[in-house]
Amino acid sequence: MTASLPFINNYSQPFLLFDDLPDSYTMHPFAPFALTDALIKEAGRKQQPILHFWQTPPLVVLGMMDTKLPYFKEALPFLEQQGYAYMVRNSGGLAVVGDEGVLNFSVFFPEEEDRLPIDDAYTRMHAIVQAAFLDYTPPILAYEVENSYCPGDFDLSIAGRKIAGISQRRIKGGIAVMIYLSVNGNQRSRAELVRDFYAAGLKNAGSRWSFPSIDPECMTTLEDAFKIPLTISDVKKRLLAVFRQQGIAVTSGSVSSSISRDYKEGMEKMTKRNQRLLP
């Protein structure tokens, strides 16, 4: 069974795939976010659609909203005690967890003649992930799972339990739509980590900012939801197959001089952001 995804055929060029990059683009926690900005610019500059797979070591990726916790800085050592590094990203709103069982996947679109509406960009990512698992039930649906971490209108869920969250970032000329997919591992532990971090950061104090009341039971992994063994490699292959089933070539991308330059600039911005926001 193959889904029809006409938006993939909007582009005359093959999609460039960035995966298995050198350590300098993967080892530092800021690296994927700096590279994201560089790839958005490249997509716009060259009218080039791009795909990017990436993972992190145990890492809590904080959003700007998290820095508004009344006891934010006092709560950060809790994450370290649980074996997690942390950082503040430049997209999205609230904390998510990365580790060896979580796959991050980004699709970069050059700006089209008519500006792509925000919800349509999210819908594209939902369609890609849904198509990758058409042969399994229940289907992957998109709606907000309120008591998950980093809830949003385009949370992806299976049988009511969240397996992924989507964000996007726009820089003149290009758009990145990014998803984290909880593939395998202990999703309950991930949810409990963020729940307890918020408890430490709030200390029952009032806040004019809203933080989710996290119920670990409302989140799961693709492996547990479909009751099949799934590796990160399995999911990558399924996602790439979606593009090839549409008759679109996917070729390996290389880091050009323009990407390298923009990446360096992005790393400097991420470093300054985190130096300003974190103790």
Split the chain (279 residues) into runs of 10 and give each run's mean pLDDT: 81 92 90 96 96 97 95 97 96 90 97 87 97 96 98 97 97 95 98 98 85 97 98 98 94 96 97 94
Annotated active-site residue in 35, 116, 125, 150: 150
Identify the sign of the CA torsion 56, 48, 14, 114. Answer: positive
CA distance 70 to 32: 29
Domains of the chain and CATH, by start: 6-277 (3.30.930.10)
Told to judge if 218 belongs to the known catalytic residues of this protein, a careful annotator would answer: no
Predicted pLDDT of residue 92: 62
CA quadruple 137, 138, 144, 145: dihedral sign: negative
How far apart CA 130 and CA 164 sit, in angstroms, is: 12
Q: What is the pTM of this model?
A: 0.95
